[in-house]
Structures are given as C-alpha cells and as structure tokens.
Structure 1
Amino acid sequence: MKFSLRRDAIVAERPMMLEQAVSVVREGSGPEVVLVHGGAGPTTTWAGLESLRARWTLTSVYRRGFPPSPPPVDGSQDFEVDADDIAAVISDTCPHVVAHSYGTLGTLIAAARRPDSVRSLTIIEPPLYFVAGDDPLVARLRQLGDTVLSDGLDTDTARLREFLTLVGSPVADGQPLPAGAVAAVRRAHGGRLPGEARPRLEPIRAHGVPVLVASGGHAPALERICDGLAGVVDAQRVVTPGAGHFVPAAPGFAERLERFLASV
C-alpha cells in the first residue's frame, strides 16, 4: 500500500517549504516501525527485516531522489530537508524509527526537535563523525566520503573503491563498478556533506528516548562512531557481523531488533 503524506506545519530550526511530500510504503500489521534508508534504496537497505511484518507495521520512507518520491530540493541530497520529511511522517503516530547511514542524520535532527514524537530510535552505522573526536580512522572515512560526494564518479579510482568497500559495495581491482554503485554515487554527488551535521543529541538523552546503536563489525571507523554515539545518548549497543554496511541483512539482526522494539 502506498501513501503520499502532505507535510503538516512543523516548528523547525530551519523551516522548509516542501510542497511535494515524500512517499512511504506500509507493510505488515502491528505497532508502527518507520524505516529511513540512506544512500541505497529501501529494498536493498531493509532486506532481512521481512519477518517483522508478521507483528509490526513496517513503514518504508523513500527519501527525495528515490522514486516514487520527488527529486531532491535544488537537486542535491540534504539531511535538513530529510529531517522535515521525517518529522512529517512521524508527527502524529509516535512510531519506532529505524535509520541507516545518511538517513540517520535527518532522523536524529527530527528526533532532537521533538523527542516526544518517537517511541524509540535504532541508529545503524551513522556518518556522525563528531562523536568520535579526533580518531584518525574516522577522519579518513570522512575525507573519503567528502571526496566522493564532492567529485562523484570523477573521484580517484582507488579512493572511490576504498569508500565503496567501507559502505558495503566492495569492487575487485580491475572490475567495473556495479550498476547499483554507479547509481548511488550519482545520487549522492553534490549532496550536503555529513560532516556538517550537528544534531542536538542532548534532548534525546534527556527525554529518555530508548536508543539502539547498531553496526556490522566490518569497519573500525564506523565502530568507533557507533561507540561514541551510544555513549552520548546512553544507548544499547549491538554489533552484528555478516552483511557489511547493510546490517539489517546480517544473521540474527532482525531478532535482536525485535527484542529491542518489544522491550520499549
């Protein structure tokens, strides 16, 4: 079932005039779990969570630039725009929210504005560099990510392959980039850099929002970011290896997520 949600009036730190709403798809039955993907689309990102539909309503948000949602505002991905879109989806229902990669930035901004609008948060491998201090591995990840977002497919081949490996799309030397990776790089090109994101995390902790921070154990830089975020928001922490950056597909993750959701 597909829904297109019209944006309600929202008090935001940076008000947006979003005439076209993003699309969502709802599947399953039971309490609502809103899913916010990152640089890959919902089908790829949330593979592995299908079993939850028996007991939960999974609401997949299609971020701007991912059909059937409209194109990005001004042609570029922006986590502040994402925050307004996410706030419109969650404002009336107070759902659980699960977010992945770039999608975590808008999710955390929206939740910080109104922590009473979410029942819980699950944050999966966020590019939230500032919570890891001056860690050199995190600095390297940020540099790679900034380069790819700025230069797109013109990024130096070795750097592009290194970045794709870190975000779950490894490419063997001498092999062409998969079509999905090419599409993802093109969509991200010119987007707002994750390093600019500074969501106010204190309101989330102060309100007592239950938080689960998850990672896949495949990249030390992402592990350190997740450890840092978990400490700031007093989150539960889980490492589920086996699927790289696409943690929802890792063996046992769906069961671990469901235990967390049911505990709230």
Structure 2
Amino acid sequence: MGEVAVVREGSGPEVLLVHGGAGPRTTWGGMAALAERWTLAYVHRRGYPPSPPPQERQDFEVDALDLAPLLVGRPHVVAHSYGVLGTLIAVAAAPDSVRSLTLIEPPLNHLVPDDPEVARLERIGDAVLTHGMDSDPAELREFLRIAGAPIGDGPLPKNVVAGVRRAHGSRPTSQARPRLDVIRQAGVPVLVASGDHEAALERICDALAETLDGERSVHPGAGHFVAAAPGFTEQLETFLRKSITGRGSKFSR
C-alpha cells in the first residue's frame, strides 16, 4: 500500500504524534516549542498528503498496521481522536514498543454504556462517517462543532466540507475494541487528556483513564484540539519526563 509519511522536527527522545480527522498542522501546532527538547515525529495518516490515499476508506485497522513499524524505536506516542483507535490497536499488539501513551478525546464510546449523551455522540458520529454531507444537517453541524471544526451559522467552509468528504465511508468508531487490558497489564504509562467542552467526551476520558490505570488531565480553552489549550504542553512534558524516571502521581486536574 505504500508507507505513510512521517515528518520529524527537533532533537531528543522521539514523540510520535498521531492525528485524527484534522491534519497534523491543525492538531499539533501548539506543541512546536517542544522540538527544542524532543524529536516531534508527525505521522500523516492515509489521505493526508504527503502520505498516499487509502485504498478503500479511512480505517483504524489500517492505521494500526501503518503505525506498527513506527514503534520499533520505542517512542512516546501522543494520539488524538480517531487516531487513538489505530494507536491502541498497534500498541496492544506490542505493548513493550512504547515508552508512554498520551490519548486525547478518543471516540471509545463503549467504555460508558447506558449513558444517553455518550450514545448520542456515537450515533451522530457514526452517521456522519456513514453518510457524509448527506447526513441530517442539524446533526452534521452538531458533530462538527464537537469535533472542533470552524463553522458558524452560514454555509460550511470549503475546507470543512473537504474534511467531511474525506471521512465519508470511514470505518465506524463503534466497531473499535482495542485490547485495553493488554496495555494495562503491560504497565504502559498513560495520560488521558480532554478539553472540558463536551460532557460525553469527559466521561469517556474518565473511563479510559480508569481502565488503563492512567493519569487524567483536563485543559479547557481549545475545544477538541486539546493540544493547543493553555497548560497542555507543560503537562505533557511533565508526564513524558515522569514516564522516563518512573515518578509521579496519577491525577492532575
């Protein structure tokens, strides 16, 4: 299928950055200063140039296959949104291949069963992936706002429409069942971060941190793009250093 592109900047221990529905620049732009002390390795998932397009669709199972060879050097891994799914699958297959995991607002809705708000988030998210621009207009806008798309009350911007079309037909997030038990048993240091902008996502992140016995942090101010929020970069760097030394507490809010 051809390898995905990885663009590296900086020097120091490698931090592999796996974006979700938005591209690397939008997702990770707020973290550029870390390149003074860390090697930031920006993964470009299939369909995001300069990586090749997907053969069929955006698919977290394919993402996992793409990520597997990138874990050979045992990097720290930071993943966002849809990108968390493939990351967790790849890490569960080789849990000793990462130094730490930072997971930002993943669509792991099954971790919070019988919650109506989480169930609604899953339903409208899967609907947008399935129907694209033919989704119910109100639900499409609701999902795009939660996902951090820059939309107002008028027509959707061209770049947002392009993003919806790129995601159209993706493997639904409701099908993802990564082996979280394997990752927890391996003792991988985990940080789960959220932006305090959507109650359902906060509950999912709480449940994920508990399931993985990980740290939990909340960074308001940038919506779904938590990596751009005030305090996130500092919290991440503290966590990365603790992951190397083995020191630190579980929770930070």
Give 3-state SS (helix, strand or coil) of 2:29's partner: coil
How many residue pairs are counted as aligned between the two chains? 243
| Structure 1 unaligned spans of 5+ | 1-18
**1:36-95 superposed Cα distances (whole Å, 9 cap, x missing partner):** 000000000001101100000000000000011011122x000000001011111x2000
Structure 2 matches for 1:43-122, cutoff 5 A?
43-74=25-56, 76-90=57-71, 92-122=72-102
In angstroms, what is the RMSD of aligned CA positions?
0.8
CA distance in 2 between counterparts of 1:45 and 1:200 reads 25
Query: What is the distance in 1 between the residues matched to 2:196 and 2:157?
Result: 23
Q: Deviations over 1:88-114 (max 9, x none)?
A: 111x20000000000000000001111
* 1:169 counterpart residue number: 149
Q: Distance in 2 between matches of 1:216 and 1:148?
A: 22
Structure 2 unaligned spans of 5+: 244-253
Separation in 2, partners of 1:194, 1:130? 10
**TM-score, reference length from structure 1:** 0.91
Q: How much has 1:257 moved relative to structure 2?
A: 0.4
Tell me what 2:122 maps to. 142
Which of these residues, 167, 186, 190, is aligned with residue 165 of structure 2?
Answer: 186
CA distance in 2, matches of 1:210, 1:134: 29
Aligned-partner SS, 2:64: helix
Question: 2:200 aligns to what?
Answer: 221
2 CA distance for matches of 1:225 and 1:245?
A: 13
1:230 lines up with 2:212 in the alignment: no
Secondary structure at the aligned position of 1:172 is classed as coil
SS at the partner of 1:49? helix
1:245 aligns with 2:224: yes
Are 1:161 and 1:170, in contact at CA under 8 Å, matched by a contact in 2?
no
Q: CA deviation at 1:179?
A: 2.2
Task: Determine the C-alpha separation between the residues in 1 that align with 2:137 and 2:103.
Answer: 30
Q: Does 1:260 align with 2:242?
A: no
- Aligned-partner Cα distance in 2 for 1:73–1:20: 10
- Distance in 2 between the 1:28 and 1:161 partners? 37
The partner residue of 1:154 within 113, 131, 134 is 134
Q: Which amino acid aligns with 2:81?
A: S
Deviation at 1:116, TM superposition (A): 0.3
CA distance in 2 between partners of 1:60 and 1:184 (Å): 19
Match of 2:202, SS state, is helix
Q: Is residue 108 of structure 2 the alignment partner of residue 128 of structure 1?
A: yes
Once residues 224 and 85 of structure 1 are traced to their aligned partners in structure 2, the CA distance between those partners, rounded to angstroms, is 29
Identity of aligned residues (%): 65
Q: What stretches of structure 1 move > 2 A for 4+ residues in a row?
A: 170-173
The answer as to whether partners of 1:45 and 1:248 remain within 8 angstroms in 2 is: yes
Aligned equivalents of 1:178 and 1:243: distance in 2? 19
Compute the TM-score of the two structures, normalised by the length of structure 2. Answer: 0.94
Task: Give the Å deviation of 1:172.
Answer: 2.5
Residue pair 2:219, 2:230 contacting (<8 A) in 1 also: yes
